[in-house]
Amino acid sequence: MSAPATRIRNFSVTALLGMVAVATTTIARAADPLPSWNHGSARQSIITFVERVTKESSPDFVPVADRIAVFDNDGTLWSEQPMYVQLAFVLDRVRQLAPQHPEWKEKEPFKSVLAGDLKAIAAAGETGLMELLAATHGGMTAEQFDKIVIDWIAAARHPKYARPYTQCVYRPMVELIAFLKANGFKVYIVSGGGVEFMRPWTAAVYGVPPEQVIGSSIKTRYEVGADGRPVIVRLPEIDFIDDKAGKPVAIHKVIGKRPIAAFGNSDGDFEMLEYVTSGPGLRLGVLVHHDDAEREVAYDRKSHIGRLERGLDEAARRSWTLISMKADWKSVFPSPTPDQ
Amino acid sequence: MSAPATRIRNFSVTALLGMVAVATTTIARAADPLPSWNHGSARQSIITFVERVTKESSPDFVPVADRIAVFDNDGTLWSEQPMYVQLAFVLDRVRQLAPQHPEWKEKEPFKSVLAGDLKAIAAAGETGLMELLAATHGGMTAEQFDKIVIDWIAAARHPKYARPYTQCVYRPMVELIAFLKANGFKVYIVSGGGVEFMRPWTAAVYGVPPEQVIGSSIKTRYEVGADGRPVIVRLPEIDFIDDKAGKPVAIHKVIGKRPIAAFGNSDGDFEMLEYVTSGPGLRLGVLVHHDDAEREVAYDRKSHIGRLERGLDEAARRSWTLISMKADWKSVFPSPTPDQ
């Protein structure tokens, strides 16, 4: 049995995630493919686009092979507030590993992490973050990291919603992925987050298999142990940052063709939307606008996470669709599950 | 219309390639899925493997999501003799570009290329090759390079077989790809060759879409021109060499799970086969052995192209299947087409 199947079998929240997946499948087959969406211009622009590219008699028809859609993850498919989920993982890992590293008590940025001083961590800047990433994401095999992620994401809870992070995904967007797939689209995630932090759970949660997940990565090396068993070793060194102009570069590198639809929420997605919507023929660019202070968090121009400024300024001129979470979504998260 | 569809429409050898594709499809549906294969242990080991991983009641059953097969390209799917096809492309490009570079007449390795001195080119080593790659593969947009490849591959002819290189593919292997696809496999090409040199034609010739092609790559940059049109610019700098231990690294990076079947022909594929066949559960490792001096070229241990030494030594111990081109294949290349 290959790794991913093992992953899912060992995944203690499988049942939980399965409920989301099953619900989504049922929804996609029902009369309304987007039941968590209010009727409005955002929903309509998405549906019209899909109709025009899938109808064979349409002048905008696109063959199945070219129906590629790309989605950002943090803030587009799941919550990125009050901090990126992967940062919560990093902080938890530092705390878990601290007993083996007594020197961290006196060494920044570890000292600040152990003290829970988020401001000091932020002040440590990129150098500090790289040190944290190296210590928590490198120095083990790919299989070991896979298990670490699976165990963490099963146990961790969102600080505000008090539910697993995999239940802090946006229900309307999960429906949207299923709707696109039902219409012959191949859906990719193109995230600034670490690719190996996402792959263990995206198939179960979003219906997106590991090979359709693109993200930031660290360098790896192929090694054969003394037992003759080959492993992929994760090195404490950044390979690629999949953000901003890195997104179209990664799309070209991995997919090798220009997608026809792109979904994001911040200026980190600007170039991806620009690249996708500049192609010839009908294209769709969509930004999730976090304007729902009551059900989620309202943030855009001034936010230090997921800042959306240029995207807001240029959306109209570029004919990009803005999703108002407040107006366009009936519900934000999946319904509470029995363990809530 | 997105890039790949345009590619195919502009492709002047489309009709030609179409014939291969149609023939293959018909074959896959007929009683014998591998009509160009002689009955023997190689064919049988492949068919038995596929039966065991696809039959639901089998203890070796693998779900569709995990049925990933990886194929080397040069020497495994198409001819790599008397030189790698991409090297023929490089030499042609240098000759085509020479009028714009009068300095090349006196400058190595260009001087040797223009003089047709293959030995001197080889003597220029890796540094010389990098200079040739930079001059012929960098300094243009991804779209421009795409068109250069399409035009070249439509016009170029194999020096010995006097037919397009896309007709110098191994018919039994094209049948094998179709057979695996018909059995729920996702087939990837994992080649030491340049990824953008393969992507423009692999869908038409092998039935493998651009996003399932992994190869060596050069660095690229995202740029927005004065006209507001974004492009991917190819830089004259190597990004990644997808050979030897680089193959499992690239498989892990792009696919994110361990394939269950691997096909190669040289020691450049050794680590890929080792990685794939070391996974848990039933695995298939296959090496194409070039032992047919009459219909192709007989080469293995001493060859400077596609050397197969360690693979031959360890195939039995590792339970890898050796394909004898001479004994196992009824025919090597597709039937001659009307333009032959």
Those residues whose C-beta lies under 8 Å from the C-beta of residue B33, and which sit 6 or more positions away, are B27, B175, B178, B179, B182
pLDDT at B7: 45
Candidates A6, A222, A252; nearest CB to B248: A222
Tell me, yes or no, whether B275 lies in a domain: yes
Residue B283 has pLDDT above 90, yes or no: yes
Reduce the DSSP state of residue A31 to 3 states and report it: coil
pLDDT in tens, A306-322: 999 999 999 999 999 99
Chain A residues touching B196 at Cβ < 8 A: 256
pLDDT at B30: 53
On whether any CB of chain B is under 8 Å from the CB of A215, the answer is no
**Cβ–Cβ of A63/B5 closer than 8 Å?**
yes
Spatial distance between the Cα atoms of A194 and A200, rounded to a whole number of angstroms? 11
Give me the number of domains chain A comprises. Answer: 1
User: Could you tell me if B49 and B282 are in contact, meaning their C-beta atoms sit under 8 angstroms apart?
Assistant: yes
Q: How far is CA B185 from CA A151, B114, B262, in A?
A: 29, 44, 12
- Report residue B231 as tokens: 């492009």
Residue A17 has pLDDT above 70, yes or no: no
Burial class (CB in 10 A: 0-12, 13-18, 19+), A138: middle
User: Could you tell me if A71 and A188 are in contact, meaning their C-beta atoms sit under 8 angstroms apart?
Assistant: yes
Instruction: State what percent of residues in chain B have pLDDT above 90.
Output: 85
∠ CA A257-A261-A267 to the nearest 5 degrees?
100
pLDDT at A30: 53
- Report residue A268 as tokens: 């980190």
Residues of the domain holding B254: 3-82+164-328
Closest CA to A209 of B180, B257, B260, B190: B257
User: Could you tell me if A324 and A287 are in contact, meaning their C-beta atoms sit under 8 angstroms apart?
Assistant: no
Tell me, yes or no, whether A334 lies in a domain: no
Tell me, yes or no, whether B127 lies in a domain: no
From first CA to last CA, the distance across chain A in angstroms is 33
pLDDT at A209: 98
**Cβ–Cβ of B213/A279 closer than 8 Å?**
no
∠ CA A336-A337-A338 to the nearest 5 degrees?
125
pLDDT in tens, B45-100: 999 999 999 999 999 999 999 999 999 999 999 999 999 999 999 999 999 999 99
Q: To which residue do tokens 């997608």 refer?
A: A259
In chain B, which among 66-125 make CB contacts under 8 A with chain A?
Answer: 66, 68
Q: Determine the average pLDDT of the residues in A47-68.
A: 98
Q: How confident is the model at residue B312 (pLDDT cuts 50, 70, 90)?
A: very high
Candidates A213, A254, A258; nearest CB to B3: A258
Tell me, yes or no, whether A121 lies in a domain: no
Instruction: State what percent of residues in chain B have pLDDT above 70.
Output: 90
Q: Which CATH number does the domain housing residue B186 bear?
A: 3.40.50.1000
**Cβ–Cβ of B210/A255 closer than 8 Å?**
yes
On whether any CB of chain B is under 8 Å from the CB of A25, the answer is no
Q: How many CA atoms within 13 Å lie on the side-chain side of B308?
A: 24
Residue A18 has pLDDT above 70, yes or no: no
In chain B, which among 280-319 make CB contacts under 8 A with chain A?
Answer: 280-281
- Report residue B338 as tokens: 């009307």
* Residue type for position B227: D
Tell me, yes or no, whether B120 lies in a domain: no
